[in-house]
Structure 1
């Protein structure tokens, strides 16, 4: 039996819990992104739930991990560890505070031919009050090359693409190479929420058991979130969707009733209210100049099937599904839309990039989205501008096939704040300035965990944007915690970009094509140079798998593009597998009060543009003072070539107080 982890046990708010819980249960270990909360104080989303990692709980199962290798169950787990249960085994958590609801993040096997299975998970509190959750892998388990497939036996989706596993282009290979199937399995996890029916006390125990006879050969439990959910919100002076024919049992489609309630509310200048229940909606609800309130995202659930269209839509969609959409920007967009207090549950099981099957979409200016819970859509929120003054706050977005949120094209003066994101299939939060620049936007105090592909937070072009006070953990594949990228046809970076007071942990993944490790933060000049006023201040890069900071260009454009003048100040680097800074591009950066410890390789890996001129690297570093830890030695300045293309990786110790 694996006992609860020894060490500091932290409750909500960072207070230590000493002794034992009810009935002699071990005191709980509460974390944030699998870290002691004191290490990330003031950063990331302020959430209502307490996160407990399964590897810190009591179990007769097997702890798996740590492992940061892509395509493995522990690599996609929070903190890179989880607990694997055989039928009949359990994991038991001690509640750190009063709670009446839990969320379980888990994985169960796929069906042999793909498409997923279902399996029970028994939940008991203090050995009584048994409930059974129905777990599913129908929304997990993707395979193969982008944009991936649900078929584990599929041949290569792109037989003319470079395959790193064989270092070849299969279409040009005779005979074509055999690949191991399933090829590149990923996106293993999902999560379920459960109201317990009553409030339990701190110290009570919640046991999760994979019952004997389960169809699932194994059940992996990653973590448990426990929460005290308040009573449902009620609005008696509103256009209640029940009065317009909505069905709270979910048996009948309620889309038409929603439309009628919205039209009535617009005429009468009322809000729309959606009381507790599950409402079936299988298409977009178009919203403009309307406020829609639910009873709370645990109580009001709007759930829909993905529906195949008879013919492709003008935007290229071949499916529709549940979602609240502003009008298209080309039609003037929507304004004064306010959405709050409900859950959106989609039915998206494959990635089709042309499909508009997102939870929230379209263009919404002078609008707010607050307190939603969104899962199983393609992208939680995808906004196509131009649009302005949007506030996205206090939402939970999980289990997406692609991004959690993307400001796509011409979104200005908008804020994304205090949102919690977990298990996306692409960037967690992104600003993509395709065609028109995003400008004046802020991503502040958000938490992004375990994106299975790409980055936690990504900024592709734009002007005068800010990334601040965020917590980003455990990117899995071909991405970093934070990326500043001139790529995907984005407009150039102009004006300023401020990256301030963020914390990253266990970040920086292995880039398949380059076969190198990425930085926890990386700057990528692919389409053009990155020449804006960029300041990175106050960031903490903890337990970086490879480099903490990386500036890079593509080999094919290495002599065309540069990244000059990036300024780093008041940075803490605690643990790198390789270097503090890796430069693989022309340009320059300055460093002031950048403190580093537990560095695995040479402090600066300066390859420049790989031309290795006798005058030194094409990338230069400026020491502005206060850089402690010996990582920036005087002999490296300004541009000594210290290039080790693929240095050995040294696993750093766990982060600790500075």
Structure 2
């Protein structure tokens, strides 16, 4: 192999990358004082987690390097949008179900910093182009009244239409095999065929952009986002801003190979895929880490890794970009990969519509045998991380995954002893975090088991659930914060569906907090629960729920339901709730629409709109009572708003199996949650 250090083009690349790194460091460095001046009268900054006081989620969710501030809590001259939980609206997809729309030159949202920062991530929505494909425009950024820069906003990665698998074409027809809630029909089986307005069902409106703030700022400084004088956008909706103190670039590990020496181009003008392949192969062979210095590297396919460490200078500095970019372990069929360590870089794709057969995920394949994935930033891929087993032994921690067309992370088929912890996921188009025991061979091989999702923050899935467990055994969901699912999903979900192997052993939910996580299911037209157990392909059994907090539920806190067509075949049983708090439910604490049973111990509730228990069983309505039984473990405190004995205990009048079935009880919007 020749010595690439003598190649003049590579020396030029080094100079360019070094200059780039210096510029980024100068932009993000934290050594200078904040800018003085400014004439606005700012509101004090308000730090939140999932649009709530951080005290309501203390000890739960991810510890992140930024501070969240909601637009609705800032100073603004635009129009407040929301609150609203109705799908297909800007408010329903916003953090906290509220945002601020700016539609005239000079209108603004202004934040006051609560701590030093030199960078911000802005979550926003702007219009789509009439023919789809997105628009691009600017928002002005000012600090303490002085304009510093303009940031580019784009909608080319948002705005999906139609029915599954969705499209970015506003003229797309609905899937003719898909159940459509607007008419309660399957179009191909309906005569005459229904006519639907176009665009049909626009959703997935929000996107994010990371903005260096040019100068470091101190507590009390203001940051204003405003509509430029000659804006090309009809409106800009601002949702939330995450302010961050970004550190200096991470230096290379000891004895690391430098990707520049193998021809990687930090300017992004040439493809770096083959150069990174060479560096990765050398690192694996020599047992040395591979370091990718600050820069933007074009990679329009998968980099395949095995027995190697691949690290960057930090996700604000080292970026792998391109259509199809991804870092993958070898598939199980090819032997799988082990001892892979990925850290400290960004993967930014170019995925604009959902095509489930396309392997355009950020990280994928099989990564077992003690592999780790940490401190990555992943955006604009189909799925942030999609792992295919069977394999064992993976740790995924401290990552940020945003703006995905489908899932944030999925452990599919026979993955065991995996830990997914302290990750931040926002704005997915399907489940935020999922374990899917996809049954394709034998249950023993395909079951996900002994995996843990812990201390993650999962926000704003536009479709499906924040965290979902599909089959398997002995998996744990613990100490997570989840908020604001929009449609066809809940905050926490255990479902016998999608050809998953049956549940067995114990599935455990412990010390999780859900926020605004009970939505109206548009197919059934009934409210789901903050936690939702669903028997479709088989029974759901062996679920333990301990220490969860269910806050500000639009409908139910707990939903246990079988699909109508199998309601006499599959039930929900051996389920136990203990030490649970429910603060606000628009309808009920428990909604049961299955046969089976569940026990409740020390479940404390308040602000319940209707009856504490809405028990339909499996709709046989026998004289002996509902087919679903509730077991009283004691100390279940609090009252409900039931129409029969208002002010009575929420639970005891309905034990063991009193029928109180009402598909659409009156909904009472709960007050904001507060400390217990």
| TM-score of the aligned structures, taking structure 1 as reference length | 0.93
Q: Is the Cα–Cα contact under 8 Å of residues 148 and 214 in structure 2 kept in the other structure? A: no
Corresponding position of 2:35: none
How is 1:640-655 mapped onto 2 (pairs within 5 angstroms)?
Answer: 640-655=658-673
How is 1:308-323 mapped onto 2 (pairs within 5 angstroms)?
Answer: 321-323=324-326
Match of 2:256 among 238, 242, 263: 238
Match of 2:553 among 544, 547, 556: 544
Q: Is the Cα–Cα contact under 8 Å of residues 319 and 346 in structure 2 kept in the other structure? A: yes
- After superposition, the C-alpha distances for 1:304-358 in whole angstroms (9 at most, x for unaligned) are 12xxxxxxxxxxxxxxx10000001112100000000000000000101111100
Q: Is the Cα–Cα contact under 8 Å of residues 545 and 651 in structure 1 kept in the other structure? A: yes
Corresponding position of 1:579: 588
Match of 2:538 among 528, 543, 555: 528
Q: Is the Cα–Cα contact under 8 Å of residues 87 and 213 in structure 1 kept in the other structure? A: no
How is 1:240-259 mapped onto 2 (pairs within 5 angstroms)?
Answer: 240-259=258-277
Deviation at 1:453, TM superposition (A): 0.2
- 1:66 equivalent in alignment to 2:76: no
- After superposition, the C-alpha distances for 1:493-551 in whole angstroms (9 at most, x for unaligned) are 1111110000001012221211111000010011111222x210000000011100010
Q: Is the Cα–Cα contact under 8 Å of residues 360 and 382 in structure 2 kept in the other structure? A: yes
Corresponding position of 2:303: 285
**Alpha-carbon separation, structure 2, partners of 1:400 and 1:478:** 17
How is 1:142-541 mapped onto 2 (pairs within 5 angstroms)?
Answer: 142-156=160-174, 158-235=175-252, 237-305=255-323, 321-365=324-368, 366-435=370-439, 436-532=446-542, 534-541=543-550
**Alpha-carbon separation, structure 1, partners of 2:88 and 2:155:** 16
Corresponding position of 2:43: 26
Q: Is the Cα–Cα contact under 8 Å of residues 586 and 619 in structure 1 kept in the other structure? A: yes
**Alpha-carbon separation, structure 1, partners of 2:333 and 2:577:** 40
Deviation at 1:411, TM superposition (A): 0.6
**Alpha-carbon separation, structure 1, partners of 2:391 and 2:490:** 28
Judged with a 3 Å threshold, the aligned counterparts in structure 2 of structure 1 residues 160 and 394 are, in CA distance, closer, same or farther, namely: closer
- After superposition, the C-alpha distances for 1:143-183 in whole angstroms (9 at most, x for unaligned) are 11011111112222x22433221122322333321112211
Deviation at 1:22, TM superposition (A): 9.7
**Alpha-carbon separation, structure 2, partners of 1:193 and 1:600:** 41
The root-mean-square deviation of aligned C-alpha atoms, in Å, is: 1.3
Q: Is the Cα–Cα contact under 8 Å of residues 25 and 203 in structure 1 kept in the other structure? A: no
Corresponding position of 1:5: none
**Alpha-carbon separation, structure 2, partners of 1:100 and 1:186:** 32
Higher alpha-carbon deviation: 178-187 or 91-100: 178-187
**Alpha-carbon separation, structure 1, partners of 2:81 and 2:177:** 36
SS in 1 for 2:319: strand
SS in 1 for 2:540: coil
**Alpha-carbon separation, structure 2, partners of 1:65 and 1:250:** 41
SS in 1 for 2:622: coil
Deviation at 1:269, TM superposition (A): 1.7
Corresponding position of 2:636: 627
Q: Is the Cα–Cα contact under 8 Å of residues 479 and 509 in structure 1 kept in the other structure? A: yes
SS in 1 for 2:278: helix
**Alpha-carbon separation, structure 2, partners of 1:240 and 1:160:** 52
Deviation at 1:56, TM superposition (A): 0.7
Q: Is the Cα–Cα contact under 8 Å of residues 22 and 204 in structure 1 kept in the other structure? A: no
Deviation at 1:590, TM superposition (A): 0.5
Corresponding position of 2:111: 93
Q: Is the Cα–Cα contact under 8 Å of residues 611 and 650 in structure 2 kept in the other structure? A: no
Runs of 4+ in 1 over 4 A off after TM superposition: 21-24
Runs of 5+ consecutive residues of structure 1 not aligned to the other structure? 1-20, 306-320
- After superposition, the C-alpha distances for 1:371-400 in whole angstroms (9 at most, x for unaligned) are 000000000000000111100000000000
**Alpha-carbon separation, structure 1, partners of 2:142 and 2:99:** 20
**Alpha-carbon separation, structure 1, partners of 2:610 and 2:198:** 36
Higher alpha-carbon deviation: 557-566 or 147-156: 147-156
| Count of residue correspondences | 622
Judged with a 3 Å threshold, the aligned counterparts in structure 2 of structure 1 residues 501 and 295 are, in CA distance, closer, same or farther, namely: same
Corresponding position of 1:51: 68
- After superposition, the C-alpha distances for 1:103-138 in whole angstroms (9 at most, x for unaligned) are 000000000010000000111111225111110000
Q: Is the Cα–Cα contact under 8 Å of residues 362 and 384 in structure 1 kept in the other structure? A: yes
Q: Is the Cα–Cα contact under 8 Å of residues 160 and 167 in structure 2 kept in the other structure? A: yes
Q: Is the Cα–Cα contact under 8 Å of residues 384 and 409 in structure 1 kept in the other structure? A: yes
Deviation at 1:198, TM superposition (A): 2.5
Corresponding position of 1:606: 615
**Alpha-carbon separation, structure 1, partners of 2:423 and 2:96:** 20
| TM-score of the aligned structures, taking structure 2 as reference length | 0.91
- 1:130 equivalent in alignment to 2:130: no
Corresponding position of 1:13: none
**Alpha-carbon separation, structure 2, partners of 1:346 and 1:178:** 36
**Alpha-carbon separation, structure 2, partners of 1:615 and 1:219:** 58
Deviation at 1:264, TM superposition (A): 1.5
Higher alpha-carbon deviation: 538-547 or 194-203: 194-203
Q: Is the Cα–Cα contact under 8 Å of residues 76 and 476 in structure 1 kept in the other structure? A: yes
- After superposition, the C-alpha distances for 1:575-624 in whole angstroms (9 at most, x for unaligned) are 00100000000000110100000001100000000010111100000111
Match of 2:157 among 139, 160, 166: 139
**Alpha-carbon separation, structure 2, partners of 1:492 and 1:64:** 43
SS in 2 for 1:258: helix
Runs of 5+ consecutive residues of structure 2 not aligned to the other structure? 1-37, 440-445, 640-648
Q: Is the Cα–Cα contact under 8 Å of residues 39 and 145 in structure 2 kept in the other structure? A: no
Q: Is the Cα–Cα contact under 8 Å of residues 585 and 609 in structure 1 kept in the other structure? A: yes
